[in-house]
Homo-oligomer: A and B are copies of this chain.
Amino acid sequence: MTSTETDQETLAPHPPRSFEALRSHVIERHAALPKRLAQVAKFALDHPDEMALNTVAELAAAAGVQPSAMVRFAQTLGYSGFSELQGVFRSRLRDRWPDYQERLTKVQDETGGSADSSSVLARFVETSMRSLVHLPETISGEAFEAAVTLLARARTIYVLGQRRVFPVAAYLSYMLGKLEMRHMLLDNAGSMIDIQAGGMGPGDVLLAVTFTPYTPVTVDIANQATARGAKLVAITDSVFSPIAGLAHARLEVVESDFGAFRCLSATITLAMGLAIASAERRRALPPSA
């Protein structure tokens, strides 16, 4: 018994002490690892911060494995146990600490000046965050509440967003599908949006997204929707938006511009919140025919 243990331990005599060494070592051996251990390996490299700060139980739950699998993973790598492995992740956190400030000042310096590629990214992050910070301020609780109520009670939700905001509509469609809410994405494929929107009527809701310059087809369909007795939930950028007046619930998003381009982060986030809040609300409602 003792001899076998000794044999096993000699398989990995040098567990990596630095995170970088650990990282490359794991990447190298990843393919040869058993399924569950590979799962742990992937999680560990994808979430190094969590690995440093959380407990085995929490990490195991997050990675979708048993606590014992975490320990086994550490031991396979040659560590005495999980704690020793975690030490590597913790020292990484200590070591990496100083360079955040460096980055921050670098960003600040280059904000005004010319565009080195990576600073472009940093400025976008900055812009996106500004939009997000202001999102809860611009969206009133009542408006959000009203929108959620309408969507939760809708028979079918028609999702509409063209050109610049089409990604938002596409994402809404994906989420509503996953949430098992009946909906239809009006993507205007084959210029058949009138056909796609043909079924709208009382009991339905049109969830329309539009920003300046307001795509005409979006405004048209919104008008048709209200004319046919469907409710309109509008995500737009101004009270003067051509569909603002028609809307039964209006959500105003102010996205910060970056040059000629407008970020979509806040809008996407709002869409996500809207979809999930509506699904939750619907679950709470009495099931209607």
Contact = CB atoms under 8 A, between A and B. Distances in A.
A31 to B, nearest CB: 9
A254 to B, nearest CB: 6
Contacts of A69: none
Contacts of A280: 115, 117, 120
Contacts of A174: 163-164, 166-167
Interface string A111-126: 0000111101111110
- Each complex incorporates copies of this chain amounting to 2
Contacts of A110: 136
B121 A136 contact: yes
Interface stretch (A8-16, A96-104, A224-232): A96-104
A96 B90 contact: no
A241 to B, nearest CB: 9
A46 interface: yes
B124 A238 contact: no
A217 interface: no
Nearest to A23: B239
Contacts of A125: 132-133, 135-136, 269, 273
Nearest to A124: B273
A107 B120 contact: no
Interface string A162-191: 011011101100110010000000000100
Nearest to A238: B46
Contact of A261 (B118, B122, B135, B276): B276
Given A174-B164, A264-B171, A276-B259, A45 B240 contact: yes
Interface of A: 27, 30, 38, 41-42, 45-47, 49, 52-53, 90, 93-94, 96-97, 99-100, 103-104, 107, 110, 115-118, 120-125, 128-129, 132-133, 135-137, 139, 141, 144-145, 148, 163-164, 166-168, 170-171, 174-175, 178, 189, 237-240, 254, 258-261, 263-265, 268-270, 272-274, 276-277, 280-281
23 contacts: A45-B238, A53-B93, A96-B97, A100-B129, A103-B136, A107-B136, A116-B145, A117-B141, A117-B281, A121-B270, A124-B269, A124-B276, A125-B269, A128-B269, A129-B133, A132-B265, A166-B171, A166-B174, A170-B170, A258-B276, A263-B269, A264-B272, A265-B269
